Structure 1
Amino acid sequence: MPHLKIDYTVNLDAHLDVPALCTALCATLTGYRDDTGKNVFPLLGTRVLAAPAPYFAVADGAPDRAFVYLNLRLTPGRPQALLDAIGAALLAEVERHLAPITTLRSIRATLHFDETPPSYEGKWASA
């Protein structure tokens, strides 16, 4: 963990480089260090996935409205100040990617953290 899942309105596909956004957000997570310089998240456990929502309604339903929802699932136990800093870094990266599109569309983005201890966690990995 962490796993970052991005859902976004399909009307962004023509304007947003989603693979670049995923890569940048993954780099933000894997590059984040705590006060001692140690990686906050394990490199091989960090994943970013994105999927367009072909069916959506945003606000009043105007066709130029768009939305990006980011949900970061992580195991609990990190200090709130660290989570706040990570959230700010992720949102700054999202803003950097969405800013050029704001002249074309009304866009909102939400980042939500879910800290949940797993009731079961199985793992499989190839060599």
Structure 2
Amino acid sequence: MPHVVILYTGNLESCTDMSGLCRKLADTMQTVRAEDGSQVFPTGGTRVFAYPAPHYAVADGGAAGMAAGGDGNYGFIYLNLRMGRGRSDAVKKQAGDALLQCAKAHLQPVFDKHHLGLTVQVDEAPGQVYDGKHSTLHPLFAKH
């Protein structure tokens, strides 16, 4: 932890460099500082993952976008920063603002040509209290 998970409509694959966005967001996380000037997110624990949604529905399906002169092919990107507990509200806001600005800058060419929504959400992990697992894979390998 901390992790940024990006969920996005698959139509954005051809519009922007998602790996580049991941790198920029990870680098941005390293710039966030606590009130005492210390780095908020440990470099070794910073991770950014992006997952395209091949199936999605956004807003009205494109009618308003086409009426506005666009192609009606809406896009959406959701960024979720999950961090450990204990940071001040000011640091949480600073982190969210920094990620939002980074994503907006990276995605500006997409915003210029397409109808696109972007959301950044920051969550705190109160601590892992349960780690349940169930698998039918392990017995396959236990026989040998």
TM over 0.5: yes
Matched residue pairs, number? 122
| Aligned-CA RMSD value | 1.5
Residues 4-23 of structure 1 mapped to structure 2, 5 A cutoff: 4-23=4-23
CA–CA distance in structure 2, aligned partners of residues 121 and 22 of structure 1: 29
Structure 2: runs of 5+ lacking an equivalent: 63-71, 132-144
1:36 aligned residue: 36
Greater relative CO (CA pairs within 8 A, separation 6+) = 1
How far apart are residue 121 of structure 1 and its match?
A: 8.2
CA–CA distance in structure 2, aligned partners of residues 119 and 8 of structure 1: 27
With normalisation by structure 1, the TM-score equals 0.89
**Counterpart residue identity of residue 123, structure 2:** D
Residues 61-100 of structure 1 mapped to structure 2, 5 A cutoff: 61-62=61-62, 63-100=72-109
The C-alpha deviation readout for 1:21-54, integer Å capped at 9, x for no partner, is: 0000000112222232211011111100001100
1:125 aligned residue: none
Aligned partners of 1:11 and 1:66 also within 8 Å = yes
Aligned partners of 1:18 and 1:50 also within 8 Å = yes
* Same amino acid, percent of matched pairs: 42
**Counterpart residue identity of residue 37, structure 2:** G
**Structure exhibiting the larger radius of gyration computed from Cα positions:** 2
With normalisation by structure 2, the TM-score equals 0.79
